[in-house]
Every structure is written in structure tokens, then in C-alpha cells.
Amino acid sequence: MSVSRIGPYSIVRELGEGATSNVYLAIRDKSFASVALKQLRKGCQTDLHKAMFATEVELGHRMEHKNIVRVLDADLAEKSGAYLVMEYVNGVPLDHHDHPDTLLPLEKVLSVIEQVAGALHYAAALGVVHRDVKPGNLILKPNGIAKLADFGCAIPHSQMGAVVAGSLAYMSPEQLEGEALDQRADIYALGAVLYRLLTGKHTFEADNQFDARMAILNFPITPIQTYRNGLPKILVDFISRALEKNIDRRFQTWETFIDDFAIVAKTIRESEDDLDMYRGFSMNTQKVISYNLSTSRQLSRSGYSRSGFSRSSMPD
């Protein structure tokens, strides 16, 4: 059954579904402001879920950052289900750009990571660990501004949550083990997001959740070059450090992460290489491009196009 009203809000349409809640585009009575309204589903009205929801509301009211979605209102006693109201961000969640055929240009990926790192640095300064940094919780506006959303899994720094929460593909080993967390868990998650936005693939290969858990805890990440050729070594090394399983070998603070990433981004932006050349191609096609670039000085990047590529140039 469709929902037409929640509290003083008229529901326009559903924007999405989370593990425990639905998110709607809504219009506030009298002001006619467009907002995003997040409401717990009926089957999730437990004390635990309500407590996590209340934490999200409390954190949302504390945070004022240009790259964090603002919480505007809330009613935890609403009969149809507790809800919170957020600014409506007219943009695209980045899970629309985390598959091999929908990847963003490298410059946009760099910009998103810079902005989200700043938002997470701000949250960490307030003693908050997000715990659910993933492409679906990042929204990119048409003007290039990126917004971090959904603090529903957030916990205070150096504490353990009541449950292990988050999205498995972006969890650090310590988060998966249910240990007390600090900013290094979110650093790992943003590293995994960077990997996914560059490749359209997860950092590991697994057929089920058990295998995924084993991979996160015990096995090295799949080398990023397996999925995308030609990335600068400085970027590959940065990603590897962000995704260190050993927490003491990872970036220890957001300051260090941001400073080092600034060097990486500056180096890439000043490079004359076309680092988007391989984006969207299969590995076999990437190998052909690499082969042709290395053996034919006459090959013009400006004249090379996907539509004009022929597999007849495949090397033996």
C-alpha cells in the first residue's frame, strides 16, 4: 500500500529502501519545501533500531558541513513509524557509477574522494565513526558537489556498536570482527569506495557472504591492475595503504590520508597522460590498447575511439 502522508509531510514518491527504512521525497506543509524523509519500516520498530535511529537524529543535528546531508526534523514517536527529515539532495547516488560500464572520469572520482574525506575528517573530529561509507551513501550533484549521507550505523569513536553494522564489501577487518572502532575503519571503507569507483569491482572475489568474510579477514585484495590498466603507481600505492588489513599499517589519521591524497591528485592532474583511456574497456581490450600504444608511435589518442576499435588489432 502506498504512503500518502507522514506527519506534516505529503509523500511524493519513494526514493529508495535501506535495510530497515524507506526514504521518500516529501513536501512539507505550509512551507512547500522538498525534503527527503526516512522512516523505519513497521517490521523494524525494535528498541535496538529505534536507538540507532535516535543516534542518527542526534548526530545529524550536530553536524554542519557542506559535504554532509543535513538533518532538518524528526519525530521518533510518530504512530506510523519513527522518521527523520533531511535536506533533499538533487543528485545521483554513486552506486549508479560503480559498475565497469558506468564509471566516472578519473577527475570526478578524485574530486569525490577529496570531498568525502573532508566530511569524514569533520565527523571524526566530533568523535563519530560513520561505519557505512559506500557508493550508495554518496550523492553527486550536477555542480560537482558530493554529499555524504546516512549516519544510521554511526557510533562514537573507540566504542563497539550493539551489533556489527555496515555494508560487508566496505568493512574493515576490525569492523567485521565487532571490535571498537576509530577513524581508521572509515579510512578503509573510503579506500574500498575509491577502488570500486575506479574499477566497478569489489576488492575481493566471493560467491557468498562466508567467502567474502574470509577474503576480508585473511586474503590480499585483488590487485587493482587486474581490472584497470594504466593507473599511476602513486595512486595504486595509496589505495593499497588505505586498504591495509593490519590497522597499524593503514593511514592513521584523516589528516595523513588527506595530505597524501592531495599529492596523488596533484600528480595525476599535472600528468599529460590520458588516464581515462582504459575506462570502460574489458581487460582484453585494455591489453590491446596498451600494446598498440607501446608499439606504434603513430597512434593518436585523439583519433582513437571505442566505436572505431577493431579486435583485428589484437596481438597474438
Q: How far apart are CA 106 and CA 273, in angstroms?
A: 12
Q: How far apart are CA 162 and CA 263, in angstroms?
A: 38
10 and 31 Cβ atoms separated by less than 8 Å: no
Q: Which residue has the cell 589505495?
A: 239
Count Cα neighbours of 228 within 13 Å in the Cβ-side half-sphere: 28
Q: Which residue has the cell 565497469?
A: 100
Q: How far apart are CA 204 and CA 221, in angstroms?
A: 5
Indicate the angle between helix axes 183-199 and 254-270, nearest 10 degrees: 20
Alpha helices in the chain (DSSP H): 47-62, 106-125, 173-176, 183-199, 209-218, 233-242, 254-270, 283-295
235 and 160 Cβ atoms separated by less than 8 Å: no
Catalytic positions, written as ranges: 132
128 and 59 Cβ atoms separated by less than 8 Å: yes
Q: How far apart are the first and last CA of the chain?
A: 59
Question: DSSP assignment, residue 143?
Answer: T
Burial 160-190 (b: 16+ CB within 10 A, else e): ebeeebbbebbbbbbbbeeeebbbbbbbbbb
